[in-house]
Amino acid sequence: MESEVIDKDAEKQVILKEYRSLLRSLRKNTTTQEKKMIRAAFELAMDSHKDMRRKSGEPYILHPIQVARIVAEEMGLDAVSVVCALLHDTVEDTEVTLEEIERTFNKEVAKIVDGLTKISGIFDLNSSIQAENFRKLLLTLNDDIRVILVKLADRLHNMRTLESLKREKQLKIASETMYLYAPLAHRMGLYAIKTEMEDLSLKYTEPDLYRDIAQKLQEKKKERTKFIADFIKPLKEELEKREFKFEIYGRPKSIFSIYNKIKYKGVPFEEIYDLFAIRIILHADPDKEKSDCWGVYSAITDIYHTNPDRLRDWLSNPKSNGYEALHTTVMSNHGKWVEIQIRTDRMHEIAEKGFAAHWKYKEGTADNALDLWLEKIHNVLSNQDANAIELVTDFKHELVSDEIFVFTPKGDLKRLRKGATALDFAFEIHSAVGKKCIGAKVNNKLVPLSHILKNGDQIEILTSNKQSPNEDWLSYVVTAKARTVIKQTLKEEKKTIAKQGKDLLEKKMKQLKMEISEANISLLLSHFKMISGMDMYIAVATKKIDISALDTLEVIAGKIKLPKPPNTQKLAANESIDEVVKKTLQKNAELLIMGESSDKIDYKFAPCCNPIPGDDVFGFLTINEGIKIHRTNCPNAVQLMSRYAYRIIKTRWTKQHEIAFLTGIKLTGLDDVGLVNKITNIITGQMNLNMRSLSFDSEDGIFEGKIMVYVHDTAELEDLTHRLNSLDGILEVGRFDSEDA
């Protein structure tokens, strides 16, 4: 009994010691009132968790105190965040209510604690319910980002004390930390926390490899220390000579970053030279930060040879999470490349404490970058129609991707994910611009939608009112915003097209006195081999299903039956194709010339304009070749009609279902892989038309194509033109009048 009292007294001393350490880590400008609020939070947490213990056996209250210390020391957050860290588990694990917290403290504290309660245990991303909860939580990022920051501190402390849990629990927590929490810390600019999370995750997911790397680093420590001292010495002397105020030291690379090189780049440990980076922290005046950093860079280049391809200027263009620094890689006297990072005290604090430090320095541009990112994420996550797991995956990609910096024609800077395309850039400008994008000029050179952008590119977007998104676009984009808008647009377009198709089908069914019932729709689905009604309606609207075929169907006792196939005309052994065509032409009376059927009059089609059924036409009586049929908009029509009006013969079309006529189509567009295949698929696959010839020429990313194709009438030609025009990358489709054009 006595030993238990002694233990409790000892525990009480440990708790008080941790609490005093927390108070010491508070900001210097913390007010007396704020300290009283922290004391009240500590006492409420103590009382709430008094009978609770962690898996390690220690009092539970040590966990919220440690989380609060991370929030204060390692993130530099305000007193409200410290209070919320102390209370973060009270509502979930104890009988304390949100109403009680609001009464004791205020609405602000209650709101953050509520967010922290909701976030607890929802990171099983294999579950759509959990993914949906996560989506809702992330939408609160705009309300108070401190919810996420305190949760990151909570997760970091859990990772630091993971050894007391069972193996399966360790793997689950470490894996989800690697998957989401570490990237989230990176995106919030908390590099030190992100690195520790990655290393600790690796320690539990791949313990043997972790120990192996850690051991080798330890073995090389003495050698590495000597190398760093030799490398730093001339730099230090030069910077002191130039009267810079600074600190310089070698920082070992994280075990996780070394693991990545071993596993994914196939580099053995012994061949990894950049096991550390040199960091120079300048004590610079606020108005001289950039010039001092470049001054240090100049001093470095006087001593060591730099690698021009490895210069990273995040002074002029900070990362969107606020990171500012100058990175360069130089060749040491030992023949090894060494990375040097140059930053000021302010930049260093922001690099270590992320957005929390921005609140301290009130740097407008950095805060704007956060606001822009949060707005972008909010737009992506607020799409109610999208699959929750897909949204979380998109969000994850936004977290982990590197950035590139590109420019508008007016020189405005835009940040995009590495791997972003011209189409991503168009959607970044505006959703409406993205939807109408047909291509782009990158550094004044024409490129297709799928062109991958590079740092420093200047992009001008080309648009057309005829353009609209299609399914292929999803393979051209990597940004969450572009993917979300494309999916939303395609969904709306499908609904519109399906409605048109449904109206057409129901109209046809009414004409045939066919009952519009679920049974008949199901039979039609089966007949047309369609999975869903929407698919069938879209196929009807896009003419992939010919509803005129319904004329040959019968409705008997509520069932649709196919009639017997019609008799087909066989070609007699002594009959030529031309004679069959002539018979068919006579049968259908394709052309009326001066009121007479064309089979009674000798005529030819003029090669200058290649008329087809449906065209406005006229006959012209020639001297030697009889009557020639021209289109009224033929290039020669004006001259013939004005000079030889007395030779003009009234001509018009009648039926035009059987004979195909040759016509020419000219296309121009952006040269892209697979475009010719898409064009021929429309002509021969979708519309079942015959081509006589096809030719394509390409220059500077623009192609020009000419196709001679057989069509039955102008309606079919217009349909073909419309389908070709709707292809991604096609700028213009027109008809040309002869094969020589």
For residue 79, give both structure tokens.
């007193």
Q: What is the largest CA-CA distance in the chain?
A: 130
8: number of Cβ within 10 Å? 11
**d(Cα 741, Cα 739) in Å, to the nearest integer?**
6
The CB-side HSE value for 323 (13 A sphere, CA atoms) comes to 22
Nearest to 76 by CA among 126, 123, 26: 26
Residue 578 CA to its chain's centroid (Å): 57
- DSSP H or E segment with residue 539: helix 533-541
Can you state the percent helix, strand and coil of the chain, rounding each to 5? 55, 15, 30
Give the list of residues 6+ apart from residue 600 with CB closer than 8 angstroms, or none.
none
Q: Residue for token digits 């990176």?
A: 186
Catalytic residue at 92? Answer: yes
Catalytic residue at 428? Answer: no
Contacts 24+ apart (CB under 8 A), 540-549: 540/501, 540/502, 540/504, 540/505, 541/497, 541/498, 541/500, 541/501, 541/504, 542/497, 542/501, 543/686, 543/687, 543/719, 544/686, 547/504, 547/505, 547/508
Give the list of residues 6+ apart from residue 590 with CB closer than 8 angstroms, or none.
598, 613, 653, 654, 655, 656, 659
Q: Which of 93, 100, 176, 704 is catalytic?
A: 93
For residue 610, give both structure tokens.
């290649």
Q: Which of 92, 132, 274, 313 is catalytic?
A: 92
Are the CB atoms for 202 and 255 separated by under 8 Å?
yes
Q: What strand order describes the sheet that includes 661-670?
A: 691-699, 702-711, 661-670, 730-736
Q: Residue for token digits 């539990």?
A: 204
Q: Residue for token digits 């001066």?
A: 594
- DSSP H or E segment with residue 390: helix 388-400
Query: Which burial class, exposed, middle or buried, applies to 42 when counting CB atoms under 10 A from its CB (0-12, 13-18, 19+)?
Result: buried
b/e per residue 424-437 (b: at least 16 CB within 10 A) = bbbbbeebeebbbb
Question: Cα-Cα-Cα-Cα dihedral of 143, 147, 149, 150, to 10°?
Answer: 160
So which residues are the catalytic ones? 92-93
